[in-house]
Amino acid sequence: MSEPTTAPISAVQPLTAPSEEERMFQAAAREFAEKEVGPHVEEMDREGVFKHELIENFFAQGFMGIEVPETYGGSGGTFFMSMLAIEEFSRVDASAGVVVDVQNTLVNNAVMRWGTEQQKKTFLPKLTRDTVGAYALSEPNAGSDAFALEARAKEDGDHYVLNGRKLWITNAKEAGLYIVFATLNRELGYKGITAFLVERSAPGFSVGKKEDKLGIRASSTCELILEDCRVPKANVLGEAGKGYKVAIETLNEGRIGIGAQMVGVARGALEHAIHYAAERKQFGKPIAEFQAIQFQLARLATEVEAARLMTYNAARMKDSRVPFVKEAAMAKYFCSQVAERVASECVEVYGGYGFTKDYPAEKYLRDSKIGKIYEGTSFMQLQTIAKLIIGRS
């Protein structure tokens, strides 16, 4: 039999456990999430508003600039450390995990990678000190077909003038800086797309309605409105017409962050279910003593661990500067599948109580659903994986 000619489905990569420094950082993130975020989770979910004081504390504790070099006011950490923080925050509240994720994996990373030195000096200290960032790619008619953009950018002296709408923009309500994608010439297709650093104070820029969502309710998701919005040419991120590279390569990294979010959600749901099973008694003994429940929890724990290792591996690969696109897509796809399945079965462990808002199980299930949708649907991840394992464009 001849050897296969397609690319291998998986290559063995070193799965390095967190170092002592990373474990200490993870423990600090876990403690902060439990003590500072935990008491407000129910209220924030009910009201659909993220507490501003918490975001201020995120900045004060260095969670909003984990990977940013100390030269620009950041913590000088690694991408892997960002994943640890996102996981721990999401374990307590997925909305908190989203705030930290978008800031670190999308906005900060895009400015660090594509920004000019002047842009880095101008914006990174703000992003690590007090300015929330948002990533504005999606539009009403540009979702999975991300480059079907209708937002326009037109040159006007030393400025560009932007017109259009952006939809489903995470962190939009709290943000002070937005990475906005618009096209210079739609006839050029993806080659006309350009990324702009747009400050909230820019003339012609406004934030529209906040969406009323199923899950991650405290995380703001809003429309952005561009009406003759004037942006200095100095605020072009990367090169004019090369915004598609900024978008694609940043989202590749962001998908690992979604994996970390979903691992955190799955962990949180499972830990609550295990605790409940140890306390809930039926037929004279805790339900955790019934083999059916034991096997159910054991299977879910195995899936969570597998998802966690996939995410950690993809993050290590990114830090090691080796190709990681396939592993990132796999992590996002698998972790979102696991999170929804785990959260759903944990509702069943609670029985009727799991279907009520008096217990945390139903919130984890609501929060898990978004993992299959944003930053590339599950189908888009499967398409990416298939292309890379088969070797076809």
Nearest to 247 by CA among 114, 123, 97: 114
Distance of alpha carbon 230 from alpha carbon 69, whole angstroms: 30
The DSSP secondary structure of 23-62, one letter per residue, reads HHHHHHHHHHIIIIIGGGHHHHHHHT---HHHHHHHHHTT
Neighbouring CB atoms inside 10 A of 323's CB total 12
* Residue 19 DSSP class: -
Q: Considering 67, 139, 327, 375, which one is annotated as catalytic?
A: 375
Residue 378 structure tokens: 């599950």
Contact (CB, 8 A) for 50 and 220: yes
223 is catalytic: no
Q: Are strands 132-136 and 175-183 parallel, antiparallel or unpaired?
A: parallel
Distance of alpha carbon 292 from alpha carbon 85, whole angstroms: 33
Residue 384 structure tokens: 């990416």
∠ Cα 123 49 272 (to 5°) = 105
- Please identify every residue annotated as catalytic: 375
